Amino acid sequence: MHPRFESVFAQLPANLQSALHPLLDVDHFPAMLSAHEVALLRQQTGMDDATVALALLPLAAACARPAISHFHVGAIARGISGNFYFGANMEFPGTMLQQTIHAEQSAVTHAWLRGEKQLAAITVNYTPCGHCRQFMNELNSGTDLRIDLPGREPTTLGDYLPDAFGPVDLDITTRLLDEEHHGFAPEGDALSEAAIAAANRSHAPYSNAPSGIALEMNDGTIITGSYAENAAYNPSLPPLQAALNLVWLSGYDSQDIVRVLLAERPDAAITQWESTLAVMRSLGCSNLDRVLLG
């Protein structure tokens, strides 16, 4: 079991500990539970999905990397597939606060990059901030998305974000978690092809500047991230943050990254290059290159 889970694991109900231990006792727990695994937890604990998600929040919060705030937020995205995806807040000392990943962004993007098609609910241990409410409004589940918090009755995103501004106001019909493909042809080595594939599935309907990134780990694993744009612009999540989110959720560390490749269009209205350089330098990684999409 990864050391980050040890202290909080001991605080979970005994029947949940017994059910979870075989799932967590791996080198790189993927910070997600398949629908089958969730069903086993329900069977062994007698809890329903919502109660299981609430009980798992301490594990999600243990994934946080709050180097600046020292404030742990955990979230769990529940997909219509039945899968559970962990999320937590991630911070980057030495860079702008805008580079921060919020827990709800972490869980949503985690689900998206794992191939989830739609979310049924988000469970979080603190009330979603305005930034996260706006980010979640980009989802194809819309304002019907269920929000669960400890000690409160379930509500919806629409209750947290009345009279919402979002994609519909800008005539955008493709939403985050919808399937997208921007048509860029694969080329180069495996890392290059992975970065291009990540750019192809990115959600960038406002800037028309799709981008993706691929990180090679020291064990040969390739982890990718896609750009997730937002109608309100500022809650947009860069591809690097999306990838680093999976790196850290999966139990890797920054020093495990040996090579980084960003894929973006050279003529796009915005670029991810400079901010990617800044964040990776702050993490001590300089082996960074770019493939230009044509």
Secondary structure in 3-state letters for the chain: CCHHHHHHHCCCCHHHHHHHHHHHCCCCCCCEECHHHHHHHHHHHCCCHHHHHHHHHHHHHCCCECCCCCCCCEEEEEECCCCEEEEECECCCCCCHHHCECHHHHHHHHHHHCCCCCEEEEEECCCCCHHHHHHHCCECCHHHCEEECCCCCCEEHHHHCCCCCCHHHHCCCCCECCCCCCCCCCCCCHHHHHHHHHHHCCECCCCCCCEEEEEEECCCCEEEEECECCCCCCCCECHHHHHHHHHHHCCCCHHHEEEEEEEECCCCCCCCHHHHHHHHHHCCCCCEEEEECC
Q: Give catalytic status of residue 104 as yes or no.
A: yes
203 within 8 A of 180, measured Cβ to Cβ = yes
Query: CA gyration radius for the chain?
Result: 18
Catalytic residue among 6, 104, 180, 193: 104
The pairs formed by 90-93 with CB atoms below 8 angstroms and a separation of 24 or more are 90/64, 90/65, 90/66, 90/241, 90/244, 90/245, 90/248, 91/65, 91/66, 91/67, 92/67, 92/279, 92/282, 92/283, 93/67, 93/68, 93/282
Residues with a catalytic annotation lie at 104
